[in-house]
């Protein structure tokens, strides 16, 4: 979630850019949002399993590679796409609107499932 706070801070600092066409090879906003959401959940899992930072980082890297594979992309395309979105704050804001909605929805589903499991005990 630290990354989310950082990105939101960047959005408030960086000036708005005009709308322009996304270059070929840049991950579309909806897909980028799903990848980012998955990375945030992986980051949460990796940091909350009780391992030291070095071990958690290795686990996170494994999660990230699996996420890229699941979304049929790779690390370099993701990084270039992220760089593009950082340079286009209006588009980045749209991506993070989707990320926030996705994370909120997953959290609600997770909480509902936890309550359901506790009720069944």
Q: Which domain holds residue 97?
A: 29-110
Q: Is residue 78 part of a domain?
A: yes
Over the range 27-59, which residues count as b (16 or more CB within 10 Å of their CB) and which as e? Answer: bebeebbbbbbbbbbbbeebbeeeeeeeebeeb
CB atoms within 10 A of CB 60: 17
Q: Is residue 117 part of a domain?
A: no
In the chain, the number of structural domains is 1
118 within a domain of the structure (yes/no): no
Whether 44 is in a domain gets the answer yes
CA dihedral 55, 43, 35, 103 (to 10 degrees): 160
Is 11 contained in some domain?
A: no
Write out the chain's pLDDT in tens, 121 residues: 556 555 554 555 444 444 568 899 999 999 999 999 999 999 988 888 888 888 889 999 999 999 999 999 999 999 999 999 999 999 999 999 999 999 999 889 888 888 877 777 6
- Does a structural domain hold residue 85? yes
62 belongs to a structural domain: yes
| Domain-located, residue 116 | no
Say what the pTM is: 0.75
């Amino acid at each position: 979630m630290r990354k989310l706070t950082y990105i939101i801070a960047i959005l408030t600092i960086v000036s708005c850019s005009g709308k322009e066409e996304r270059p070929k090879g840049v991950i579309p906003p909806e897909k980028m949002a799903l990848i980012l959401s998955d990375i945030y959940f992986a980051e949460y899992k990796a940091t909350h399993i009780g391992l030291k930072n070095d071990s958690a980082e290795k686990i996170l890297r494994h999660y990230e590679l699996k996420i890229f594979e699941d979304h049929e992309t790779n690390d370099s395309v993701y990084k270039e796409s992220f760089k593009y979105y950082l340079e286009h704050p209006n588009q980045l804001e749209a991506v993070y609107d989707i990320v926030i909605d996705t994370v909120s929805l997953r959290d609600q589903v997770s909480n509902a499932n936890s309550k359901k499991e506790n009720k069944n005990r």
